């Protein structure tokens, strides 16, 4: 092989050649180290969002004009929180109203999310209403979507307590209106997103059909989707009797396969029916549960002291729990990557995994006295107290929506 530069005239002496060789070695070594550092930084930033298309460009803040890794960070104590009191928000359902139903501690309310390399703008309900004036926002999904919807209502009202409102609850659609601003904020119950039909008394989960539900969302200016928990329910807790795919009926199938089929049906509907230049589409990532203390005991102390989230009063420490990344999340990530106009992924899974202390546990109005007396059987470690963690979801949503 011809040496580098040998086709050129010999202009350097042997000593100069040795110096040049050393220079090139040092340069290559520097580039290797630099590339390693860049790769490490890129890995951290990639956790903030799993796809890099311009549709999901990271928000930039006036404070530092740098790209912010919103979903990578840590929980820090902040005594200016919570943003509202449950006693001042009559729209919180008993299921989420932990303080009203006897939760004795309140430290879990005193934490805010601190991203890795920026400060989140504090939620401002007046700014929210001014920016959404005359528009419609719809949360679509399971009860975690309802959890987030009610949180956002309370956060806005805390800054606008005298504004005129109207609430109507129903199935599958509930509507909250800010009458002075012409804003409708809706929650549409669709735990699988795709359609469920009843045929001869049997509930058929249609993995490739969504138009029945989709017609109700079509005209929204902002859409926030979620799904996840219902796909792993078994027996009497599952919401269907048969699944239908490609004209074939199944008593059951691999749940991840079913989830992917449904999500691809949803993604195709969004790409075909939503104008991304006028409608913002978000997808809330999988909300974790805390029924298994082995998921956090190794992080905190190495031994399990509880049987579920009951009695937990402090968040896990650190930036993330790397063992807690549901298979469902990987499926969701792949589907969003493949969209023509990708939904913005509100990637709250990891930051929520750290908050084992924020569930209703036994302090839920949905439980009987007998159920409260048996926390290791009855504790709700799926939903979240209000005020509580969903307020942070909405602060991140607010940031992604307006900044």
Cα distance between the two ends of the chain: 55
**Domain of 151?**
73-296+304-402
Does 303 have pLDDT greater than 60?
A: no
Query: Which among 50, 380, 382, 391 is annotated as catalytic?
Result: 380
Can you tell me whether residue 139 is helix, strand or coil? strand
The percent of residues above 90 in pLDDT, for the chain, comes to 74
Q: Under a CB-based contact definition with an 8 Å cutoff, are residues 360 and 380 in contact? A: yes
Q: Is residue 276 part of a domain?
A: yes
- pLDDT for 319 equals 60
Report if residue 187 sits inside a domain. Answer: yes
- Whether 205 and 243 have beta carbons less than 8 Å apart is answered as yes
What CATH number does the domain containing 310 carry? 3.40.50.1110
Other CB atoms within 10 Å distance of the CB of residue 245: 18
Each residue's pLDDT tens digit, 324-371: 557 899 999 999 999 999 999 999 999 999 999 999 999 999 999 999
> Is 40 tagged catalytic?
no
Q: Which of 50, 229, 359, 383 is catalytic?
A: 383
Task: Read off the pLDDT of each residue in 190-216 and give the average, rounded to a whole number.
Answer: 96
- pLDDT by residue (tens digit) across 91-135? 999 999 999 999 999 999 999 999 988 999 999 999 999 999 999
Predicted local confidence at residue 317, as pLDDT = 82
The answer to whether residue 21 is domain-embedded is no
Is position 138 within any domain?
yes
Domain assignment of residue 9, yes or no: no
Per the domain annotation, does 191 fall within a domain? Answer: yes
Please indicate whether residue 380 is annotated as part of the active site. Answer: yes
> Considering the domain boundaries, does residue 65 fall inside one?
no
Model confidence at 305, in pLDDT bands (50, 70, 90)?
A: low
Q: Which two tokens stand for residue 302?
A: 């190495």
Of 254, 250, 136, 260, nearest to 194 (Cα)? Answer: 260
∠ CA(174), CA(229), CA(152), 5° rounding? 40
Q: Is the pLDDT of residue 215 over 70?
A: yes
CA distance 322 to 295: 10
Residue 211 phi/psi, 5-degree rounding, is -65, -30
In the structure, what pLDDT confidence band is assigned to residue 62 with cuts at 50, 70 and 90? very low
Based on DSSP, count helices (H) and strands (E) in the chain, helices before strands.
11, 13
The verdict on residue 7 lying in a domain is no
Question: What is the number of structural domains in the chain?
Answer: 1
pLDDT at site 297? 72
Q: Is 366 a catalytic residue?
A: no
**What are the distances in angstroms from CA 27 to CA 15, 19, 189?**
18, 12, 59
29 has a pLDDT exceeding 90? no
Task: Name the active-site residue from 86, 143, 352, 378.
Answer: 143
């Amino acid at each position: 092989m011809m040496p580098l530069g040998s086709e050129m005239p010999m202009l350097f002496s042997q000593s100069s050649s040795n110096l040049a060789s050393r220079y090139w070695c040092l340069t290559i070594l520097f580039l290797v180290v630099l590339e390693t550092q860049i790769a490490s930084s890129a890995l951290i930033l990639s956790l903030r969002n799993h796809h890099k298309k311009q549709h999901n460009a990271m928000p930039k803040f006036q404070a530092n004009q740098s790209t912010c890794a919103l979903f990578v960070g840590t929980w820090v104590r902040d005594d200016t929180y919570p943003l509202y009191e449950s006693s001042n928000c009559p729209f919180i359902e008993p299921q989420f109203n932990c303080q009203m139903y006897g939760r004795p501690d309140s430290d879990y309310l005193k934490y805010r999310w601190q991203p890795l390399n920026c400060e989140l703008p504090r939620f401002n309900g007046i700014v929210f209403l001014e920016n959404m004036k005359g528009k419609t926002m719809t949360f679509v999904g399971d009860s975690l979507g309802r959890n987030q919807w009610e949180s956002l209502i309370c956060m806005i009202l805390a800054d606008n307590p005298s504004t005129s409102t109207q609430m109507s609850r129903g199935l599958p659609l509930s509507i909250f209106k800010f009458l002075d601003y012409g804003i409708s904020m809706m929650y549409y119950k669709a735990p699988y997103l795709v359609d469920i039909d009843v045929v001869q008394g049997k509930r058929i989960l249609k993995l490739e059909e969504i138009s029945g539900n989709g017609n109700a969302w079509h005209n929204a200016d902002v859409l926030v989707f979620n799904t996840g928990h219902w796909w792993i329910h078994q027996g009497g807790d599952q919401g269907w009797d048969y699944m239908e795919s490609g004209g074939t009926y199944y008593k059951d199938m691999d749940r991840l396969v079913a989830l992917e089929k449904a999500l691809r049906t949803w993604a195709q509907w969004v790409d075909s029916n939503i104008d991304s230049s006028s409608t913002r589409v978000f997808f809330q990532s999988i909300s974790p549960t805390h029924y298994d203390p082995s998921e956090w005991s190794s992080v905190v102390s190495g031994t399990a002291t509880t049987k579920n989230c009951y009695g937990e009063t402090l968040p896990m420490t650190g930036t993330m729990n790397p063992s807690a990344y549901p298979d469902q999340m990987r499926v969701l990530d792949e589907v969003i990557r493949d969209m023509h106009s990708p939904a913005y992924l509100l990637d709250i899974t990891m930051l929520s995994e750290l908050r084992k202390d924020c569930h209703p546990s036994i302090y839920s109005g949905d439980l009987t006295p007998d159920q409260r007396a048996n926390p290791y059987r009855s504790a709700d470690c799926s939903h979240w107290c209000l005020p509580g963690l969903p307020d942070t979801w909405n602060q991140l949503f607010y940031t992604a929506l307006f900044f």
